[in-house]
């Protein structure tokens, strides 16, 4: 029989040995409180009386009955209560594990023709993107509609000032670097948005003639973890200090709208010591407006991170062929490309779109239930924070 005692003048329930439950937490966990299936509650913890106490408690087998000072009665399953308490205390422990990668990575490949919605393959794609940061999809049909078909595996496309799907083609007057034939250092897209692009697709319709235009993929989490080990003070600055990212466009262009966007965020988002996201684009930063006592160290920390991103040891390199696509977590994995020969015929054509990360993670949780795969409830990494 499990021992039960009331301690701290009714503010704590002790249940067998050292297990202690706070009065508010215990009442919050009462199974009789009405909760909708959707998770939307019909009860608010803010309505509990501040002087609430546990008046009486008894144990009978696996059940623990509690009488409360406000007249409420609770009947708990002790096993269920312990499970809930363990999960509440250890929620960060269950954060989805990441497999970080460097230059010698072999990405997980998916055949586009096997990506049927709701299938095990579809599930595997989402799981791979969540754990490895990106996946390579091959065998997309020679058709523009394939970009949206692939995006439908992730969720609803986020429409931005670039539109639903942004066609990256070589333009004579480029208004983004992507429309030139120049190389680009690895970066995360759209750091100037409060919430940058989420899970993004780079779909190659036509690779550049004459070679070049190779994709460079860098695991921002791997770079950050190595920096944390080698230069902890620099890691700390990048994880705590927000810097400005800016995008202004006022000229009339054939794609996109005029914008004036400014977002402040740290390069690294960290919660309880765990990396949650990366926001990094060297060419989109404003001047760092930092306090005098940290400005020097901050510039050096930013430089140290950028140097690692440019280190070939971290750069997975792949030339997307016609009909191939990367699906990547833009708030973890950085992407860039090598330059390519002038492409005046406009042959090179890459299509880009993005789906919010929470939608993709929601699908992953649902598919886990549908396919009955084992594992804890998926507590996913929440991405790049804004300050
Ligand atoms: Fe980009």
What domains does the chain contain, in order, with CATH numbers?
Answer: 4-89 (3.30.2020.30), 109-370 (3.60.130.10)
Question: Ligand 1 mean position to 6 CA, how many Å?
Answer: 58
Identify the bridge partners of residue 75 per DSSP, sorted by sequence position: 65
Q: Please tell me the predicted confidence (pLDDT) of residue 347.
A: 76
Question: What's the predicted TM-score (pTM) here?
Answer: 0.90
Question: Ligand 1 mean position to 216 CA, how many Å?
Answer: 11
Joined tokens for residue 240: 């705590």
Question: Ligand 1 mean position to 236 CA, how many Å?
Answer: 26
Question: Ligand 1 mean position to 185 CA, how many Å?
Answer: 9
Summarize pLDDT for 258-268 with one digit per residue, the tens. 889 999 999 99
Question: Ligand 1 mean position to 238 CA, how many Å?
Answer: 21
Instruction: Fill in the DSSP letter of residue 10.
Output: G
Instruction: Fill in the DSSP letter of residue 321.
Output: P
pLDDT for residue 382 is more than 80? yes
Question: Ligand 1 mean position to 309 CA, how many Å?
Answer: 14
Question: Ligand 1 mean position to 245 CA, how many Å?
Answer: 14
Summarize pLDDT for 305-359 with one digit per residue, the tens. 999 999 999 999 999 999 999 999 999 999 999 888 765 555 789 999 999 999 9
Question: Ligand 1 mean position to 162 CA, how many Å?
Answer: 12
Question: Ligand 1 mean position to 189 CA, how many Å?
Answer: 5
pLDDT for residue 252 is more than 80? no
pLDDT band at 191 (very low <50, low <70, confident <90, very high): very high
Question: Ligand 1 mean position to 334 CA, how many Å?
Answer: 8
Q: Which of 336, 102, 382, 384 is nearest to 222 (CA)?
A: 102
pLDDT above 70: percentage of residues in the chain: 92
Question: Ligand 1 mean position to 138 CA, how many Å?
Answer: 20
Which of 151-160, 209-218, 267-276, 309-318 is the least confident region?
209-218
pLDDT band at 236 (very low <50, low <70, confident <90, very high): very high
Mean local confidence (pLDDT), 89-102: 76
Q: Please tell me the predicted confidence (pLDDT) of residue 243.
A: 98
What is the DSSP annotation of 192-259?
TSSS---EEEEEEEEPPTTS---EEEEEHHHHHHHHHHH-HHHHHHHHH--EEEEEEE-S--SSS--E
Mean local confidence (pLDDT), 356-363: 96
pLDDT for residue 203 is more than 60? yes
pLDDT for residue 250 is more than 80? no
Burial of 141 (0-12, 13-18, 19+ CB in 10 A): exposed
Joined tokens for residue 104: 């010698």
pLDDT for residue 174 is more than 80? no
A 10 A CB-CB count for 375 gives 9
Q: Please tell me the predicted confidence (pLDDT) of residue 90.
A: 58
Question: Ligand 1 mean position to 315 CA, how many Å?
Answer: 15
Question: Ligand 1 mean position to 73 CA, how many Å?
Answer: 57
Question: Ligand 1 mean position to 178 CA, how many Å?
Answer: 7
Mean local confidence (pLDDT), 99-112: 96
Which of 30-34, 122-126, 153-157, 218-222 is the least confident region?
30-34
pLDDT band at 253 (very low <50, low <70, confident <90, very high): low
Question: Ligand 1 mean position to 186 CA, how many Å?
Answer: 8
Question: Ligand 1 mean position to 65 CA, how many Å?
Answer: 58
Question: Ligand 1 mean position to 208 CA, how many Å?
Answer: 17
Say if residues 157 and 150 touch (Cβ distance below 8 Å). Answer: no
Q: Please tell me the predicted confidence (pLDDT) of residue 177.
A: 66
């Amino acid at each position: 029989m499990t021992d039960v005692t009331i301690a701290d003048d009714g503010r704590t329930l002790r249940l067998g040995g050292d297990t202690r439950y706070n009065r508010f937490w215990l009442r919050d966990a009462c199974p009789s409180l009405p909760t909708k299936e959707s998770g939307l509650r019909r009860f608010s913890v803010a309505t509990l009386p501040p002087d609430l106490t546990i008046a009486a408690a008894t144990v009978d087998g696996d059940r623990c009955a509690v009488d409360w000072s406000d007249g409420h009665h609770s009947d708990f399953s002790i096993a269920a209560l312990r499970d809930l308490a363990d999960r509440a205390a250890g929620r960060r422990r269950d954060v989805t594990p990441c497999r970080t990668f460097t230059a010698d990575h072999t990405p997980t490949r998916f055949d586009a023709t096997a990506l049927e919605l709701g299938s095990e393959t579809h599930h595997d794609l989402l799981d791979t993107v969540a754990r490895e940061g990106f996946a390579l999809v091959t065998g997309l049909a020679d058709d523009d509609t394939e970009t949206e078909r692939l995006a439908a595996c992730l969720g609803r496309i986020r429409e931005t000032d670039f539109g639903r799907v942004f066609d990256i083609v070589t333009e004579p007057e480029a208004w983004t670097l992507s429309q030139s034939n120049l190389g680009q250092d690895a970066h995360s897209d759209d750091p100037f948005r409060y919430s940058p692009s989420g899970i993004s697709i780079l779909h190659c319709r036509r690779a550049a003639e004459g070679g070049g235009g190779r994709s460079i993929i860098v695991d921002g989490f791997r770079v950050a973890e190595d920096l944390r080990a080698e230069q902890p003070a620099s890691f700390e600055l990048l994880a705590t200090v927000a810097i400005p990212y800016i995008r202004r466009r006022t000229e009339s262009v054939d794609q996109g709208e005029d914008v004036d966007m400014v977002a402040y965020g740290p390069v690294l988002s960290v919660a309880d010591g765990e990396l949650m996201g990366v926001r990094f684009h060297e060419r989109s930063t404003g001047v760092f407006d930092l306090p005098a006592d940290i400005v020097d160290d901050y510039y050096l920390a930013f430089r140290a991170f950028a140097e690692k991103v440019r280190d070939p040891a971290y750069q997975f390199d792949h030339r997307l062929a016609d009909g191939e696509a990367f699906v990547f977590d833009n708030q973890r994995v950085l992407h860039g490309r090598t330059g390519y020969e002038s492409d005046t015929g406009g042959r090179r054509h890459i299509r880009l779109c993005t789906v919010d990360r929470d939608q993709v993670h929601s699908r992953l949780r649902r598919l886990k239930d549908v396919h009955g795969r084992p594992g804890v409830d998926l507590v996913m990494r929440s991405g790049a924070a804004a300050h």
